[in-house]
């Protein structure tokens, strides 16, 4: 019935399995209660008993947002209200089956569930789209309205006109899972009705996801972080686990423990002195955004000039590093070595001075780093996803992979592939969602184009996949547990305009808060939050730890809210497919079913009733740290990669063919080598005369994207502020705490400035995810960075280059 799937781009494919049950190690369910009792917790009870008014009880639930973790939370419930949130009390304080402690956000989940912004009733738009004017309707009216719009859209345009927009608000759930589209209940319903237009890749990793197959054949993570104890040196390009993997069981914890154990020297390359650069690193190397490929070329120049590269590794495992290892048909001078030494078409040697001028990293530092990186064995080269969320992010990602190849530390303990860290992943089953009869896909990012210019969108012009071109415009949007309709998408003002245009567009938003995207709904359906329903929380990224959480129903759905499964069942009834949709099962029945399937794959997972009391199941990877490509390293002939050559392709003939055949907009370039490409709104763009500062938008501990953005405790603890370097602030007479306007041709954000040497000169950062809140003049007082970002996609992935923006800052 169910299948095992790699659940998210945050999780690595299932590589190993183990059956070390937390319950076995800790003494079973009784130990959970026992541990809790020692900590002064209340006795755990199955959730249904907790819904009455008979005194406080504790129920396991989970925080299922998209931060890379899925922390269990123990909710104290009194009189149908959550009155207290406790973190995971089970397990220890070391890497063996540790506690999975919730971060500041999960601990504030009560303020998200009991929030004044909660949607209470189904609603229908009455004012202009986006005005936020709605009338209350009944569930019957809501189901009729959705069914009617679905029918008329499909009749008129076909199923390709129905789009499931990105939404990761409940990424960690199973039945209520919100992404990828194919894993959702919405997909299950649409697949019974003829299918839907799908999207490929994601806002997290569009550029690197698209780059991977050309370079490695498929997604290949780096070594898991518990392996850092085996490294001599760790180099993190724009990876910030101490802010983006904050769970007590997650990578913050794993890296901290590894560092304590080995004191491994750690270098962070980032435009900002990130939390990781502060708490984990020995050295912070500030770099201009979007220039990592230039830094790598400069490092390569030093290595090649001093013969420091691992030539034996490059010769055996790679194609395209030098002229002797180019594929047939490649032009002379097209190897990476030629590019670096200035013997390629551009004739420019990529010396440390050349790289320094582009990256802002001093030439002396580049020379020193090159020697240090080449000399440390083993050395782990790793990148987060900030460097690739850029207008030439595909090349930045591949450049970092290439650096890993040059030092030959791929597939060995202590080394790394240049990708983001792997994590152990146990085998689990998924909610079955049936097959989509429509094969056409657009990129996750250019769906807005498909609303107003679908007839121009082809495989070669816009990266349409599964078909040569789009045959219908998007006319029905399901936005379930996502804010990517507006707030998390780019160029909010233009996006709002696109959404306002077609009269026959229907937008159905299923959320539980009145978010920015919810304001743009035609039909707004109030979902139950996670503690209001039962589900299985899938594991997050946590080194060698795998885990599952049985998130029980702690409180009854509030007001008229209904769990998404019940909402979709209501629509299915109107569309005549209720029996097929439910197969006679309730949500709890499905959870039991998926759990039974999971137990076939991982037998140590407890049965439903035990799990309900126990809350968490944990196991450790039986083989220790995950070391991707170890097989390839051991025997590349027997275990070739799935690239055309079977090797790591530093020069990709497939990319050269794309460069020759795709219709790219002016200024966009796809290259066979991971070259540095001067790109739109990069440091060399003449637009800098008007907008001299590079703007990025880091992921922030105050929120997970926009989720938790309306929680008062978090707003107070981690306020929304724009980072600016003292030199840039002085030029503009700006002091910390001043209100400034951040401006470009796309919009204006009014925000408090934080003047800090923790950001490179010439760069500002507005933490992404704050809620867009325009005043009467259209000035965004909410501080949403997407007021300023661009809809122009990256060349190869057609992905979101949301960290590539030029702006000016003025004091108000």
- Enumerate binding residues for ligand MGD (CB under 6 A): 66-68, 166-170, 203-204, 237-240, 243-244, 246, 269-272, 274, 287, 289-290, 292, 384-387, 389-390, 480-484, 488, 510-513, 515, 527, 529-530, 564, 696-701, 703-707, 768-769, 785-786, 789, 802-803
Q: In 20-30, which positions are buried (b, 16+ CB within 10 angstroms) versus exposed (e)?
A: ebbbebbebbe
Structure tokens at 599: 């137990």
Closest to ligand MGD by CB, 169 vs 546, is 169
Residue selected from 105, 301, 613, 680 as contacting ligand SF4 according to rule CB under 6 A? 105
* Least Å from the CB of residue 627 to ligand MGD: 22
Structure tokens at 218: 């498929």
Strands (E), 491-596: 506-511, 523-526, 535-537, 545-551
* Least Å from the CB of residue 719 to ligand SF4: 18
User: Segment near Mo ion (CB under 5 A), from 137-145, 196-204, 263-271, 678-686?
Assistant: 196-204
Question: Would you give the binding string for ligand SF4 spanning residues 404-433, x where CB under 6 A is met?
Answer: ------------------------------
Closest to ligand MGD by CB, 276 vs 602, is 276
Interaction of residue 743 with ligand SF4, rule CB under 6 A:
no
Residues 536/595, Cβ–Cβ less than 8 Å: yes
Residue selected from 32, 44, 71, 751 as contacting ligand SF4 according to rule CB under 6 A? 71
* Least Å from the CB of residue 204 to Mo ion: 3
User: Segment near ligand SF4 (CB under 6 A), from 66-74, 494-502, 559-567, 763-771?
Assistant: 66-74
Rg, C-alpha atoms of the chain: 26
289 binds, among ligand MGD, Mo ion, ligand SF4, none (CB under 5 to 8 A by kind): ligand MGD
Closest to ligand SF4 by CB, 105 vs 553, is 105
Residues 89/39, Cβ–Cβ less than 8 Å: yes
* Least Å from the CB of residue 269 to ligand SF4: 24
247 binds, among ligand SF4, ligand MGD, Mo ion, none (CB under 5 to 8 A by kind): ligand SF4
**Cα distances (Å, whole numbers) of residue 8 to 171, 182, 538, 705, 785:** 8, 12, 10, 16, 25
* Least Å from the CB of residue 523 to ligand MGD: 14
Residues 6+ apart with CB under 8 A from 67: 103, 105, 244, 245, 246, 247, 540, 704
Which residues between 227 and 246 bind ligand SF4 (CB under 6 A)?
246
Residues 6+ apart with CB under 8 A from 776: none
| Site size for ligand SF4 (CB under 6 A) | 13
| Site size for Mo ion (CB under 5 A) | 1
272 binds, among ligand SF4, Mo ion, ligand MGD, none (CB under 5 to 8 A by kind): ligand MGD
Beta-sheet pairing, 523-526 with 535-537: unpaired
Residue selected from 178, 184, 191, 204 as contacting Mo ion according to rule CB under 5 A? 204
Question: Would you give the binding string for Mo ion spanning residues 412-451, x where CB under 5 A is met?
Answer: ----------------------------------------
Closest to ligand MGD by CB, 562 vs 613, is 562
Interaction of residue 99 with ligand SF4, rule CB under 6 A:
no
Residues 190/221, Cβ–Cβ less than 8 Å: no
Alpha carbon distance 87, 225 (integer Å): 23
Half-sphere exposure of 255 (CA within 13 A, CB side): 29
Alpha carbon distance 574, 142 (integer Å): 11
* Least Å from the CB of residue 802 to ligand MGD: 4
Tell me how far the alpha carbon of residue 611 is from its chain's centroid: 29
70 binds, among ligand SF4, ligand MGD, Mo ion, none (CB under 5 to 8 A by kind): ligand SF4
Structure tokens at 523: 């039909």
Residues 376/411, Cβ–Cβ less than 8 Å: no
170 binds, among ligand SF4, ligand MGD, Mo ion, none (CB under 5 to 8 A by kind): ligand MGD
Interaction of residue 165 with ligand SF4, rule CB under 6 A:
no
Alpha carbon distance 133, 150 (integer Å): 22
Alpha carbon distance 207, 203 (integer Å): 9
Residues 198/441, Cβ–Cβ less than 8 Å: yes
Beta-sheet pairing, 806-811 with 739-744: antiparallel
Name the 3-class secondary structure at 118: strand
Residue selected from 7, 17, 57, 70 as contacting ligand SF4 according to rule CB under 6 A? 70
Residue selected from 63, 97, 264, 518 as contacting ligand SF4 according to rule CB under 6 A? 63
Cα dihedral value 706, 710, 712, 714, nearest 10? -10
The 134-136 sheet, strands edge to edge = 134-136, 123-125, 523-526, 506-511, 476-480, 162-164
* Least Å from the CB of residue 65 to ligand SF4: 5
Residues that bind Mo ion in the complex, under the rule CB under 5 A: 204
Residues that bind ligand SF4 in the complex, under the rule CB under 6 A: 63, 65, 67, 69-71, 102-103, 105-106, 246-247, 704
């Amino acid at each position: 019935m169910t299948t095992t799937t790699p659940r998210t781009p945050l999780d690595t494919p299932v590589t190993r399995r183990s059956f070390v049950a937390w319950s076995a190690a800790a003494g079973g369910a009784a130990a959970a209660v026992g541990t809790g009792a020692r900590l002064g917790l209340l006795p755990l009870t199955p959730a249904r008993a907790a819904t009455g008014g008979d005194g406080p009880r504790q129920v396991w639930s989970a925080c299922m947002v998209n931060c890379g973790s899925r922390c269990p939370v123990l909710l104290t419930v009194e009189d149908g209200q959550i009155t207290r949130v406790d973190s995971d009390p089970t397990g220890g304080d070391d890497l063996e089956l540790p506690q999975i402690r919730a971060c500041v956000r999960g601990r504030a989940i009560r303020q998200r569930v009991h929030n004044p912004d909660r949607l209470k009733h189904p609603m229908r738009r009455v004012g202009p789209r986006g005005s936020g004017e709605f009338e209350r309707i009944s569930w019957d009216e809501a189901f009729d309205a959705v069914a009617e719009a679905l029918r008329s859209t499909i009749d008129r345009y076909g199923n390709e006109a129905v789009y499931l927009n990105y939404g990761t608000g409940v990424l960690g759930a199973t039945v209520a899972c919100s992404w990828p589209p194919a894993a959702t209940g919405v997909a299950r319903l649409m697949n019974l009705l003829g299918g839907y237009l799908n999207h490929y890749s994601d806002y997290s990793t569009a550029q690197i996801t698209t780059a991977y197959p050309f370079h490695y054949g498929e997604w290949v993570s780096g070594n898991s972080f518990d392996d850092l104890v085996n490294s001599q040196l760790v180099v993190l390009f724009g990876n910030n686990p101490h802010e983006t993997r904050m769970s007590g069981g997650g990578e913050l914890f794993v890296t901290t423990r590894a560092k304590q154990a080995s004191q491994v020297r750690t270098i962070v390359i980032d435009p900002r002195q990130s939390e990781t650069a502060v708490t984990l690193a020995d050295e912070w190397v500030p770099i201009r955004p979007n220039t990592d490929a230039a830094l790598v070329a400069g490092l390569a120049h030093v290595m090649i000039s001093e013969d420091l590269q691992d030539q034996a590794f490059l010769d055996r495992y790679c194609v395209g590093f030098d002229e002797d290892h180019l594929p047939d048909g490649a032009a002379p001078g097209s190897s990476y070595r030629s590019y670096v030494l200035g013997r390629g078409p551009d004739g420019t040697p990529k010396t440390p001075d050349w790289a320094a001028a582009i990256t802002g990293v001093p030439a002396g530092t580049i020379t020193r780093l090159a020697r240090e990186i080449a000399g440390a064995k083993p050395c782990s080269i790793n990148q987060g996803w900030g460097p690739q969320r850029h207008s030439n992010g595909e090349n930045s990602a591949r450049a970092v992979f290439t650096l890993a190849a040059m030092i030959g530390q791929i597939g060995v303990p202590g080394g790394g592939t240049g990708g983001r860290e792997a994590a152990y992943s146990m085998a689990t089953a998924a909610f079955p969602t049936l097959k989509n009869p429509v094969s056409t896909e657009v990129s996750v990012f250019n769906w807005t184009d498909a609303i107003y210019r679908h007839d121009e969108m082809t495989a070669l012009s816009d990266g349409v996949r599964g078909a040569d071109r789009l045959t219908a415009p998007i006319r029905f949007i399901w936005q379930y547990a996502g804010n990517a309709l507006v707030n998390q998408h780019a160029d909010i003002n233009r996006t709002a305009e696109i959404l306002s245009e077609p009269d026959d567009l229907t937008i159905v938003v299923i959320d539980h808060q009145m978010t920015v995207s919810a304001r743009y709904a035609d039909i707004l359906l109030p979902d139950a939050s996670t503690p209001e329903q039962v589900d299985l929380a899938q594991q997050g990224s946590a080194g060698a730890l795998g885990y599952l959480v049985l998130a029980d129903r702690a409180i009854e759905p509030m007001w008229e809210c209904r769990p998404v499964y019940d909402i979709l069942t209501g629509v299915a009834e109107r569309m005549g497919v209720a029996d097929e949709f439910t197969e006679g099962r309730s949500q709890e029945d499905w959870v039991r079913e998926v759990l039974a399937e999971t137990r076939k794959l991982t037998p140590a997972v407890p049965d439903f009733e035990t799990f309900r009391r126990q809350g968490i199941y944990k196991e450790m990877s039986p083989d220790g740290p995950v070391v991707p490509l170890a097989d390839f390293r051991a025997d590349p002939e027997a275990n070739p990669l799935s690239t055309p050559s079977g090797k790591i392709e530093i020069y990709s003939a497939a990319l050269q063919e794309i460069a020759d055949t795709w219709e790219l907009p002016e200024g966009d370039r796809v290259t066979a080598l991971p070259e540095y490409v001067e790109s739109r709104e990069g440091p060399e763009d003449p637009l800098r005369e008007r907008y001299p500062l590079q703007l990025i938008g880091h992921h922030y501990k105050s929120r997970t994207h926009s989720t938790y953005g309306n929680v008062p405790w978090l707003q107070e603890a981690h306020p929304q502020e724009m980072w600016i370097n003292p030199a840039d602030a002085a030029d503009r007479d700006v002091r910390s705490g001043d209100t400034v306007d951040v401006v470009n041709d796309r919009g204006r954000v009014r925000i408090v400035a934080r003047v800090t040497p923790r950001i490179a000169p010439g760069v500002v950062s507005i933490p992404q995810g704050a809620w867009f809140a325009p005043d009467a003049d259209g000035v965004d007082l909410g501080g949403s960075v997407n007021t300023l970002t661009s809809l122009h996609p990256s060349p190869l992935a057609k992905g979101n280059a949301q960290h590539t923006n030029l702006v000016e800052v003025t004091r108000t």
